[in-house]
Structures are given as C-alpha cells and as structure tokens.
C-alpha cells in the first residue's frame, strides 16, 4: 500500500494546535459576537506589532486586501498598476476589481520576484497609462527586492502595495515584509504560513490616512453606522477566524524556522538530483511557503513522484498573461523569464508537520 505525502496539509497544522484553537473558537461562540469584535481588534494589534507597522485592518480575503489597498491609494478606472504575471491570479484580479489595468513585467529568474530593470523599463514605456502603483509579490516566501522597488517608486511618485500572501514572517535584514511599502496585503487562506480555517486577509500600513481609508472602505464607507460617506464594500474578518489566527500567530516564527530546517534537508537530499534548487538573496529571510525546484524534465518527475505517493503542485502552470481571461493585457516585453519558469517549476511538499524521513524519501525518489 502506497502511503501518500500531501503537497500541503492544513489539517495537520490544525491538529498541532487543536486544544488551543478549539478553546479559542468556543470562547467566541460563547461570547456571542461574531463580526468585528474583540478578537479581530486584538489580532489586528498583535499582527501589527509582529510586522512592525502602526496599523492592521482585518478583511475577508487576500484578494480583498489588495483591492482595498489599491482603492485607499486612489487607484481606480483609467489608472494602471505594475505587477508580475508570475503570481497567483488574485494579484491581477484585484487590480481589475479596483477598476484599474495591470501592466505586467518580468521576474528575476532566481528569486521569481519582480525584476526591477523590467519594472523601470515598463514605467518608461507606459508613461501615458496613468501608472499609479506597483505591486511587488513576495512569491513562495522569498522577499522581493524592496529597497530597489521603493527607490524606483520614490523617483516616479508611485504607491507600493506589497503582496504578502505567501510571505508571513519573511524579511530583508531586520525589516519584515509588509513593513516596506505604503501598504501591504496579506492572505490567511488555510495553506498559508499563517492560515485561518477559512478565508481571511489583512491590510497593513504605518500611514494613518491610508489606514483610515482602508477601514472606511472595508465596511460600506461607514464612519457612522448605516451612513455611507462614500461607496465601500463588505469585507470583514470574522471573530472565529481572528481567534484562530491569534493562536497560530504565536507559533509562526517557530513554524517558519521548521520550514527552514526542512528546506535545508531538501537541499542535502536533492544535491544529486539534477534540479535547480531555491535561491535566497543576500540579506533575505525566506520562509518557504513553497519549496520550488526547477527541472527540464518537470512533468516526468511529477509523474514519478505521484506514482510513488508524493503529491506535488505547480505554482503556477500558466502565467496570468497566458490565461484566457487575461489575454491582451499590457505587458512589458516578451516576459520570457516568466514563460520559462512556468515550464520548469515544481512545488514539493512543504509544511511544518512534514518529517525529515519524508523529505529524505522524496530526495531518494527524485534522484
């Protein structure tokens, strides 16, 4: 009988913290307030302190977090936003939900994050596109080159909204992702490094004006209940998810450390497998939301592992600019590195409850 190793396992993380999570959920149920109560308010303060920012606003999803951050910056119809095509489609979807148009740029071939040369060239090439913002994506848990992104944004007067959906706890030097841009968007989808037991998200910022704008927009534009000062939306983190996140936040650093140990073990186990292993930039702290390798024989490797009980994934099989719903969007150049990555990448199992024996087995099978 083949024993399967899942590519990710959010249930295992729930079971690891089950007594605390169950107690936290029961307290919310007993309290009787289920939307925007004390659990949300406390989580917002605790996560802001963790990130090193002044304010966090809990919202319903990571996609909503990006859309609200864009709208808080005044991005809307007729504007454009520079970002990457090698990302979850939510990044580009949020730009269009805000009414703006994406300008897609290429990636660095090692970190898979935004290539700043391509970014600056795209800014010059699209001077008439009313470019308002940049969304760098901290993909797979590796930080984008935020010092360079912020320098470029400063020269051109652009807002920066970090897509931190995969980088909870990642950092450049001592500064965590989420504390670099004007705003940052987080997802708490169950498979994330900090995952809820359903959908959830947050917007982080140290700008009080932007923070107030996000809070206004997340709930119908209300300053006074039932009176909308401007058109807003309904995007609220609920009390149960906030309670779960408060428990899991206490373990985020230790679980990220475990991911780093597993990544190091993969590095040893796969040393002779002929794969391109994850790269880490100098001064970057990678939190390995995904452990992504590259192979010229990717599909054959994936089949071999599947047949021996190892589940894998491809994040992502089609860049956004190749997907039917997003054909024809503005892009800078051919996005050759993005297309090349999509043909070679493979996400191996990665989650804190994975065992070293399982990592070694995967290494043996892949070699």
Taking only the tens place, the pLDDT of each residue in 318-351 is 999 999 999 999 898 899 999 999 999 999 999 9
Please write the tens of the pLDDT for every residue from 213-248.
999 999 999 988 999 999 999 999 999 999 999 999
The model's confidence at residue 262, banded by pLDDT at 50, 70 and 90, is very high
In angstroms, the CA 177 to CA 163 distance is 9
Please give the backbone phi and psi of residue 180, each rounded to the nearest 5 degrees, phi first. Answer: -100, -45
8-state DSSP, 34 = -
This prediction has a pTM of 0.98
Q: Is 5 helix (H, G, I), strand (E, B) or coil?
A: strand
Q: pLDDT class for 1, splitting at 50, 70, 90?
A: low
User: Is 156 in contact with 80 (CB distance < 8 Å)?
Assistant: no
The continuous run of DSSP H or E covering 171 comes out as: strand 171-172
Class in CATH terms, 252-366 = alpha beta
> Where do you find CATH 3.90.1150.10 in the chain?
252-366
Number of residues assigned to the chain: 367
Residue 90: which region, alpha, beta or left (left: phi > 0; alpha: psi -120 to 50)? alpha
HSE-up (13 A, CA, CB side) for residue 105: 25
- The region of weakest confidence among 2-11, 67-76, 138-147, 192-201 is 2-11
The predicted model gives 194-220 an average pLDDT of: 97
Of 117, 177, 110, give the one whose Cα is nearest residue 143.
177
Candidate CATH numbers 1.10.3720.10, 3.40.640.10, 3.30.930.10, 2.10.69.10; the one for domain 11-249: 3.40.640.10
Is residue 163 scored above 90 in pLDDT? yes
Band (30; pLDDT cuts 50, 70, 90): very high
Please confirm whether the linkage preceding 338 is cis (ω < 30° from 0). Answer: no
> Read out DSSP for 99-164?
T-EEEEE-B-TTT-SB-HHHHHHHHHHTTTS-EEEE--B-GGGPPP-HHHHHHHHHHHT-EEEEE-
Q: Where in the chain is the domain with CATH 3.40.640.10?
A: 11-249
């Amino acid at each position: 009988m083949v024993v399967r190793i899942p590519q990710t396992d959010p249930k295992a993380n729930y079971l690891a913290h089950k007594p605390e999570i169950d107690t936290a959920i029961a307290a919310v149920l007993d309290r009787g307030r289920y939307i925007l109560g004390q659990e949300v308010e406390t989580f917002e303060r605790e996560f802001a302190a963790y990130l090193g920012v002044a304010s966090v606003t809990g919202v319903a999803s990571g996609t909503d977090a990006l859309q609200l951050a864009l709208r808080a910056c005044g991005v809307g119809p007729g504007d454009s936003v520079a970002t990457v095509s090698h990302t979850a489609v939510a990044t580009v979807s949020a730009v269009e939900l805000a009414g703006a148009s994406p300008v897609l740029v290429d990636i660095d071939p090692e970190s898979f994050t935004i290539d700043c040369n391509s970014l600056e060239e795209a800014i010059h090439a699209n001077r008439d596109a009313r470019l308002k913002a940049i969304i760098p994506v901290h993909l797979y848990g590796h930080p984008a080159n935020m010092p360079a992104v912020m320098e470029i944004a400063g020269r051109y007067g652009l807002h920066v909204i970090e897509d931190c959906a995969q980088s909870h706890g990642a950092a450049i030097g001592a500064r965590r992702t989420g504390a670099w841009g004007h705003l940052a968007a987080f997802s708490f989808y169950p498979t994330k490094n900090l995952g809820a037991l359903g959908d959830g998200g947050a917007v982080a910022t140290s700008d009080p004006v932007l923070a107030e704008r996000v809070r206004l927009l997340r709930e119908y534009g209300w300053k006074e209940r039932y009176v909308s000062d401007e058109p807003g939306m309904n995007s609220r983190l609920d009390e149960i998810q906030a309670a779960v996140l408060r428990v899991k936040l206490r373990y985020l650093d230790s679980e990220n450390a475990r991911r780093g140990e597993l990544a190091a073990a993969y590095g040893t186990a796969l040393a002779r497998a002929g794969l391109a292993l994850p790269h880490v930039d100098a001064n970057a702290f990678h939190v390995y939301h995904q452990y992504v390798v590259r192979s010229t024989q990717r599909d054959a490797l994936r089949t071999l592992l599947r047949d021996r009980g190892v589940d894998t994934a491809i994040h992502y099989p089609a860049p956004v600019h190749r997907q039917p719903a997003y054909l024809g969007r503005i892009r800078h150049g051919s996005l050759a590195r993005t297309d090349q990555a999509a043909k070679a990448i493979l996400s191996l199992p990665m989650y804190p409850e994975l065992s070293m024996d399982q990592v070694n087995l995967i290494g043996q099978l892949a070699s």
